[in-house]
Amino acid sequence: MSAPIVFSGIQPTGRKHLGNFIGAIRQYVEGQDRGEPAIFCIVDLHAISVAYDPAELRERVYDTAAILLAAGLDPERCIFFRQSDVREHSELTWLLSAVTSHGDLNRMHQFKEKSGKQRDLVAAALFFYPVLMAADVLAYRATEVPVGDDQRQHVELMREIARRFNERFGETLVVPELRIPGVGARIMDLQEPERKMSTTGGTENGTVLVLDEPAAIRKKFGSAVTDSGREVRRAPEKAGISNLIDIYAVASDNEPDVVERVFESQGYGDFKKAVAEAVVEYLAPVRERYAELRPDEAALEAILAAGAEKARVIAADTLVDVRSRMGFGPA
């Protein structure tokens, strides 16, 4: 089997949290040595689908870039860039809209959830978001998309878009595979464990940020919502504890059943403390490295610009084929 072409994007909205780290960023770092190439993108064009401030967007791109580099992305081993630097994403979005079903877009859970939260305007961009996401991946003919569980539906849609394009215009695009981590694909809010941890939709105390100080991390885990039982084990009716077991498993590099066995005879209080300590240790190197990297915006720009140059070559090649198949330009 040949090496996968890995692609994934992450939004520069808000600050990145433990869910993003465990569900996505961890997979990126691991994927950069499997992918040939592995391509990671800060999807700033996606960020404009909800209300935002242009100056702040620019800052958040640097924040996110520094977090990913601090986590271990290495521009020598992957292509790391800012989406808006590669105009092919926008052009391909429009072209793919010809083979995207309006009915499919209407069924997207994320649109339903996020549109309900918008105060002034539900931007058409929020509805169109999955087409841009399809373009992001299909532009690189990626075979593998590492994401969290919440992105299943969007990946299924991009597969459908690629298939429909190939049927209509001839074999051109690659139908990518979803890649979801076995443990931690959906990290839940610590305060409301029925909801996923999220930059935009979660509770303040239930969302552990990658850059949180140890004291903040301890406080958030200390007040994590559990249940009236006393057993540290995973079960559908124990959403809070199940979530903590997954988090501890990833942070301590253990299997969840090992975690259950180790904490079998301990109370929730001790378990929560142990989870907090494991996460403090897990995130500390990232926070420290971030502090070194974030101030040098010129260096971050240089990394993103060099990445965009490499990305553009691949995306432009796909666009030549797509345009030609669709009847644009001279024969």
Residues binding ligand ATP (CB under 6 A): 10-11, 13, 19-20, 22-24, 147-148, 150-151, 185-187, 196-201
Rounded CA separation 105/100 (Å): 8
- What is the number of other CB atoms lying within 10 angstroms of the CB of residue 241? 26
Residue nearer to ligand ATP on the CB measure, 23 or 130: 23
Rounded CA separation 277/221 (Å): 9
Contacts of 35 (CB under 8 A, 6+ apart): 3, 4, 5, 6, 78, 144
Minimal distance in Å, beta carbon 152 to ligand ATP? Answer: 9
Contacts of 270 (CB under 8 A, 6+ apart): 263
Residue nearer to ligand ATP on the CB measure, 19 or 130: 19
Minimal distance in Å, beta carbon 312 to ligand ATP? Answer: 22
Residue nearer to ligand ATP on the CB measure, 247 or 311: 247
Residue nearer to ligand ATP on the CB measure, 13 or 318: 13
Minimal distance in Å, beta carbon 246 to ligand ATP? Answer: 9
Minimal distance in Å, beta carbon 32 to ligand ATP? Answer: 15
Minimal distance in Å, beta carbon 46 to ligand ATP? Answer: 8
Point out which residues pair with 7 in neighbouring strands: 39
Sheet holding 38-42, edge to edge: 79-82, 38-42, 6-10, 144-146, 177-179
Residue nearer to ligand ATP on the CB measure, 4 or 148: 148
Rounded CA separation 4/25 (Å): 18
Q: Which residue is nearest to ligand ATP, using beta carbons?
A: 23
